Each structure stands twice: as C-alpha cells, then as structure tokens.
Amino acid sequence: MGRYLLRRLLHTVLAMLGVSIGVFLIMHLVPGDPIRLALGTRFDPEVYQALRSRAGLDRPLLAQYGTWLSHAVTGDFGVSFRSGQPVGELLWQRLGPTATLAGAALLVALSIALPVGILSAVWSGSVIDRIATALSQLWVSVPDFWSGIMYILLFALVLGWLPASGYVSPLDDPVQALRHLVLPALTVGLISGSILTRFVRSAVLEALNQDYTRTARAKGLSRWQTVRRHVLPNAWIPIVTVAGLQLGFLLGGVVVVEVIFEWPGLGRLAYDAVIRRDYSLLQGAVLVIATVFLTINLFVDILCGYLDPRVRRP
C-alpha cells in the first residue's frame, strides 16, 4: 500500500505541476496584452501599471512562474483584472454553491445508477434490463443545456412548481434553497446517472461472469447472497472509480448548467472570466477546478487501493 500510495501521490503532484504551467501560460499565450484587453475602454495608465506590476508581467518568465506558483500554493491568485477583488476570495464564495450542486447531482445519479445498474446486470437480457439500457442510452445523448431549458419551461413556467433559476444559500432559507436546487440537480444528475448506470451494469456483469461467482453458487449461496457477498465487493472498485470521475466532472464541468440556472458556481465563474477577458480570474478558477479534480482522483485511487486487498496487502 505504501509504495502504491507514494506512486499515486507522485503522479498527482506531477500532473498538478503540469497543470500549473499550462494555466500560468494562459496569460502569455493570449494574443495581445491581457491587461490592456481586460481594461478595454476603461483604460487608465495608472491602473494599467499597477495591475501589470501586481501580476508581475514585467519580469522574466521563469521568475514570474516561480512567484505566481508560490503565491497560488498559499491561495493567493492575485486580483481580478476587472473588479480588483482578490481572486482567492471570489473563488472561495463560489465553492459552496458548486459543492452543493455537485453533491446533490451525485446523490441523484447514484440513487438511480446503483439500483438500476445492479438489477439490470443481475437480470441481464430481461425486459427491465432492456428498458433501463434504452433509457440510459437516451439520456446519455441528451444535451444538458437543452434538457435544463425544457425543465424550466415545464416545471417553472408552465406548471409553476419550482423557481426557474437562481441560488439561495441553505444557511439563509433551507426550503427555498432546496426548491432552487431541484431543477439544476436533476438536469445534471439524470445525465450523470445514466452514464453511471451503464458503468455499474457492466461492472456487476463482469463480476457476475467470474469464476468466483460460480464457486459461491456451488457453495449453496442464493443468487442475491452471491451478489451481495461476492459480486458487489468486486464491482465496487470500478464503480467507485467512475463515480469519482463523475464527481470531479460535476465540480467544475457543469458550466452550461450553471449558466442556464444562474447558479453562482466555479464553472460559471470561469465562463464569466472568459467573456469579460478577466484572465487572472480565469487562471485562478481553472487552477482550482483542476486541483479539485486531481485531488478527488487521488482519493478515489486511495479508496480503490483500500478496497482491493491485492493493492492493500501485496
């Protein structure tokens, strides 16, 4: 386990370094002067110079990277070119809503994918399996930006059951927070759930076809005892991996859904930064999302190592 952990950790650190270089270069690959672009019509030589030296753009590239990275590690991502607010603060505000949406969506996804995927695999070829497979195939192909709008049309505008968009903090008003959460969480969760369903099904099916499953049946275990004690403990490993990937995706990849539902999350922030050419903000947002993504992957690897005795006790 020790060596495995160390190797995973090393990979993660390497990937993060690579990501940080890529993110750092955003500022330098942008054609033209990013700060001049950001200021646009509000150009003021004084502000320009201040921002420029604050971002350290007047120093050698490697030195800039070193400073930038050492600041970023401590959570200091500089100030927004647009608003002048510290980027770290802006990001911090967005973390809550994004985590809420991602958590709710994953909950929706898992509560569909686990039962449906397992039943589908155990009764593979049955009517239930075929319906579930067809539905998940349909839903994988649904564009989230379209289904989101359709839900708004149906549940908010036509039926008037739920608010069309916006975010309310659960600390302020739990009921309103939940009402605002339902549609975006369903939009993302249903799609994510149908992706997961397919993986759960194939992971369980794979374990069902293994020799040890036959051994368990030969010992006199019933079909469901076999599934519970022998199939699932093996299927968990791939399922946890994919669920982790999905969570990582939900924490930063639901840009479009956050835009549609005016959800103040990280993805939306990154998008706004692109539209307003606020490159320092974009750097911060992309770096944080990628870091969260890599950290989740690391945790998933550790969890899988723990679930798999061949890794845990070689």
Partner 1 sequence: MTDDPEDRATPGAGAPIAEHRTRTRETIGILLTNRLSAFGLVVMGLLIFTAVFGSMVAPYDPTSVDIPARLSGPSLDHPFGTDNLGRDVFSRVLAGARVSFQVGIVAVGISLTMGVVTGLVAGFYSGAADAVLMRAMDMLFAFPAILLAIAVLAVLGPGITNAMIAIGIVYIPIFARITRASTLVVKEELYVRAARSVGASDLRILRRHILPNILAPIIVQTSLSLAFAILAEAALSFLGLGVQRPTPAWGRMLAEGRDFVNQAPWMGIFPGIAVFVTVLAFNFVGDGLRDALDPKQKSVIESRGRAV
Partner 2 sequence: MSASEPVLSVRNLTVEIGTRRGTARVVNDISYDVHRGETVAIVGESGSGKTVSALALMRLLPEPPARVGGRVLLDGVDLLRGSERELCRIRGHRIAMVFQDPMTSLNPVLTIGQQLVEPIRLHLPLTAGAARDRAVEMLHLVGIPAPRHRLDDYPHQFSGGMRQRVMIAMALACDPEVLIADEATTALDVTTQAQIVELVAGLQDRMGMAVVWITHDLGVVAGIADRVAVMYAGQVLEEAPVDALYEDPRHPYTTGLLASVPTPGIDRPHRLFAIPGLPPDPVALPPGCPFWDRCAVRGEPRAEFTPQPLRPVGSDHQVACSCAGPAARHG
Cα of first residue to Cα of last residue in the chain, in angstroms, is 7
**Nearest-angstrom CA–CA distance, 110 and 97:** 20
Binding to partner 2 by CB under 8 A, coded x per residue (else -) over 158-187, reads ------------------------------
Region binding partner 2 by CB under 8 A among candidate stretches 29-37, 127-135, 184-192, 223-231 = 223-231
CB nearer to partner 2: pick between 72 and 240: 240
- Whose tokens are 């309103």? That residue is 176
**Nearest-angstrom CA–CA distance, 287 and 139:** 30
Kindly report the backbone phi and psi dihedral angles of residue 63, in degrees, each rounded to the nearest multiple of 5, phi listed first: -65, -40
Which residues have CB under 8 Å from 235's CB, separation 6+?
200, 203, 204, 206, 207
Residue 216 binds which of partner 1, partner 2, none (CB < 5-8 A, kind-dependent): partner 2
The CB-of-158 to partner 1 minimum distance in angstroms stands at 9
For residue 174, how many other CB atoms are within 10 A of its CB?
Answer: 11
Question: Does the protein bind partner 2 through residue 211 (CB under 8 A)?
Answer: yes
Residue 30 binds which of partner 2, partner 1, none (CB < 5-8 A, kind-dependent): partner 1
Site for partner 1 (CB under 8 A): which residue of 4, 123, 271, 299?
Answer: 271
The CB-of-305 to partner 2 minimum distance in angstroms stands at 12
**Nearest-angstrom CA–CA distance, 205 and 231:** 9
Which residues have CB under 8 Å from 247's CB, separation 6+?
102, 106, 296
Binding to partner 2 (CB under 8 A) within 50-69 occurs at: none
Binding site for partner 1 (CB under 8 A): 11, 14-16, 18-19, 22-23, 26, 29-31, 124-125, 137-138, 140-147, 149-150, 152-153, 157, 202, 205-206, 209, 214, 248-249, 251-253, 255-256, 259-260, 267, 270-271, 273-275, 277, 279, 282, 286, 289-290, 293-294, 297
